[in-house]
């Protein structure tokens, strides 16, 4: 019997980073997405953007080697790549709002089969953590999401419709969870890759929306 292996957070980030194209300007949101900068790109140059004003950073800094002046939007210590820039917060958001980002990768509490997603307010929470997510969701040319497939209580995060307040409507194009890689299409979630040892029926039981299984479905390479 094949061992069942869910992707860890870095592996989710790595799989999304594989989809980045050479020369893209990519914003990485807080949480799993920040780990995308750790992925070693082969024959690609990716320019990473952080909303707090860092453009052109690289992997997260190793413990004990931190520069306390260099952090991403999540407060993690980062390295700078050759040609990197530190800009004013307003300039950083001007880049976002002017449509210059090729991609933003964000986390989410929920994502719907039509590309709606929710990532700023949980059920029962007073207020919320809006941050720059709404600007990014409508300002970037593409939106990818990285998240766990279910909550700690086993509640599905991939849904037919979002139950939480929506961040943006119809913008998510690619979703990677610890169980699968899903393309958001006009027909719904198309599962293109699956975690080792799992079958589509098992993933379906942990998904609120109906999954469409790609004819070329394959296991994650991890």
Q: Which residues are catalytic?
A: 51
CA–CA dist 178, 180 (Å, integer) = 6
Residue 141 near residue 102, CB atoms below 8 Å: yes
Tell me the backbone φ, ψ of residue 217, rounded to 5 degrees. Answer: -55, 135
Residue 150 near residue 142, CB atoms below 8 Å: no
Q: Count CA atoms within 13 Å of residue 119 on its CB side.
A: 30
Residue 64 near residue 141, CB atoms below 8 Å: no
- Bridge-based pairing of strands 110-112 and 78-86 is unpaired
Task: Please provide the size of the chain in residues.
Answer: 222
Q: Tokens representing 203?
A: 């993933």
Helix residue ranges per DSSP H, 118-193: 133-139
Give the position of tokens 């929306």: 209
């Amino acid at each position: 019997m094949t061992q069942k292996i869910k992707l860890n957070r870095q592996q989710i980030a790595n799989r999304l980073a594989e989809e980045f194209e050479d020369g893209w300007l990519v914003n990485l949101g807080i949480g799993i997405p920040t780990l995308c900068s750790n992925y070693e790109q082969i024959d690609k140059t990716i320019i990473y953007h952080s909303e707090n004003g860092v453009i052109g950073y690289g992997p997260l800094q190793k413990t004990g080697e931190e520069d306390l002046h260099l952090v991403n939007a999540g407060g993690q210590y980062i390295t700078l790549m050759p040609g990197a820039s530190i800009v004013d917060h307003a300039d950083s958001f001007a880049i976002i709002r002017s449509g210059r980002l090729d991609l933003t990768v964000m986390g989410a509490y929920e994502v719907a089969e039509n590309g709606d997603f929710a990532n700023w307010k949980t059920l029962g929470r007073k207020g919320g953590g809006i941050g720059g997510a709404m600007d990014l969701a409508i300002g970037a040319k593409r939106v990818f999401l990285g998240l766990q497939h279910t909550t700690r209580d086993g509640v599905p995060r991939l849904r037919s419709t979002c139950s939480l307040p929506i961040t943006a409507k119809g913008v998510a194009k690619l979703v990677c969870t610890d169980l699968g890689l899903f393309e958001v299409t006009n027909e719904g979630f198309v599962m293109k890759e699956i975690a080792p040892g799992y079958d589509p029926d098992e993933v379906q039981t942990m998904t609120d929306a109906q999954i469409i299984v790609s004819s070329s479905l394959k296991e994650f390479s991890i």
